[in-house]
Structure 1
Amino acid sequence: MFINSPLEQFEINTYISTTSSIADFSWTSTTNFGVYTIIVFSIIIGTHTTSIGNNGIIPTKWSMGIESTYSTTQNMVYSQIGISGQQYFPTIYVIFVFITISNTFSMIPYNFATMSHTVFTVSTSSITWTGVTITGFYNFKTEYFGTFVPAGTTTPTVPVTVIIETTSYTARSVSTGTRTGSNITAGHTTTVITGGTIFDFMSSGIIFFIVGFTPTGTVTGIMCTEFAIGTIQAYVFSITACSYIKEAIYTH
């Protein structure tokens, strides 16, 4: 479970392999992705349990942090969807908190970056998109097909417009997850390359070691930026999901 290279935070390694000559049980193998996902969920559950479990009159700093996150997410859902969308608040809250904690936890040196894997982020956005699409057809039945034919479209241009709108609508299932995964991967890679270069420079000699303390401020700045980007990506993913849900519960 030890990472020997910073770049291994992007690699999925198997800790415990499950094999059988009778059937394929490889899907039950324990990987670093699964372990770190469990760790992130444990942090979320532990933090909320500890914070909410405090029955004191004066809230703790942890309680205030959880309440602030809850209030921010609720205001985001209300401003984007309205009062009718409050039933979707738990889903948006879980998405926002999970992505935020995952991105923050992955900033620990030599840690595994869960959200850097585009397969996972795209799968998450695709599941969200599928749920939104089902909700739209459930609410409006065949009228939901009106999404692919904007108002004012002339009859001759309907076929082309439908193709364009369908492609654009389908691309939503990929674009949100791709953006999230790409941003996290790019930020972590920049941090690794910059930090590795400075480390090699400082390892060249005593003089280089002393001079090397100056550019370490650059790495610190990049890491602080990465913390902000991690939270921003969680916010962007959540607010995008809210906008999709809004289209599915209101007429077009």
Structure 2
Amino acid sequence: MYLPFIYSLFFFILIANLSGNVPYGFTVATSISSMTIFIGVTILGLRLHKVHFFSFFVPSGTPLGLVPLLVPIELISYLARAFSLGVRLFAMFTSGAITAIITLIPFSIFIALIGLEIAVSFIQAYVFCILTASYLKDAIDLH
């Protein structure tokens, strides 16, 4: 059901990452994707499960005495998802100046690094989509 969304997301992230490989280029993926996905998954979970969605923060079979301890931990874990999506996208984009310096190195090394950056763009789009699919599954199936 969410395959078209995941498919579109993959190509959006991929094209945004590839456009970020242009010297002095900026990629929009780091700015909007992670928070948009996080908010969308949360809204989907709330829409499907209403108040029961909050049971996601209490693992099944948890003794009542541990609930006050586990709820903040699970909430932090849930909020860390947006951070993890953002880090996946931002990790590649600190190499803009390095790429300019590498152009002085022989042509074969430059081509190899460009190939590596393109591979990283594909891998990041793939990992972002896998994480999004996992978060969608968690929002839909709770436990």
Q: Shorter-chain TM-score: which interval?
A: 0.7 to 0.9
Q: Does 1:225 align with 2:116?
A: yes
Of 84, 91, 107, which aligns to 2:5?
91
The code of the aligned residue for 1:225 comes to: L
Q: CA offsets, 1:48-67, max 9 Å, x none?
A: xxxxxxxxxxxxxxxxxxxx
The list of structure 1 runs, each at least 4 consecutive aligned residues, that deviate by more than 3 angstroms after superposition, is: 186-190
Q: Does 1:245 align with 2:136?
A: yes
Tell which has more relative contact order, 1 or 2 (C-alpha 8 A, sep 6+): 2
Give the CA RMSD over aligned residues. 2.0
The code of the aligned residue for 1:241 comes to: T
Of 106, 117, 125, which aligns to 1:234?
125
Is the contact between residue 20 and residue 93 of structure 2 (CA under 8 Å) also seen in structure 1? no
Which blocks of at least 5 consecutive residues in structure 1 are unaligned? 1-85, 199-211
Higher helix share: 2
Q: Take 2:122 and 2:38, find their aligned partners in 1: how far apart are those partners?
A: 21
Tell me the TM-score normalised to structure 1 length: 0.52
Q: Take 2:34 and 2:121, find their aligned partners in 1: how far apart are those partners?
A: 16
Is the contact between residue 24 and residue 96 of structure 2 (CA under 8 Å) also seen in structure 1? no
Q: Take 2:90 and 2:140, find their aligned partners in 1: how far apart are those partners?
A: 28
The aligned counterpart of 1:112 is 25
Q: Take 2:70 and 2:101, find their aligned partners in 1: how far apart are those partners?
A: 45
Aligned residues: 143
SS in 1 for 2:33: helix
The aligned counterpart of 1:103 is 17
Tell me the TM-score normalised to structure 2 length: 0.86
Name which one, 1 or 2, has greater alpha-carbon Rg. Answer: 1
User: Which structure 2 residues correspond to residues 133-148 of structure 1 after superposition, within 5 A?
Assistant: 133-148=42-57
Of 85, 94, 111, which aligns to 1:186?
94
The offset of 1:111, in angstroms, is 5.2
Is the contact between residue 6 and residue 133 of structure 2 (CA under 8 Å) also seen in structure 1? yes
Fraction of identical pairs, as percent: 37
Which blocks of at least 5 consecutive residues in structure 2 are unaligned? none
Q: Take 2:14 and 2:51, find their aligned partners in 1: how far apart are those partners?
A: 37
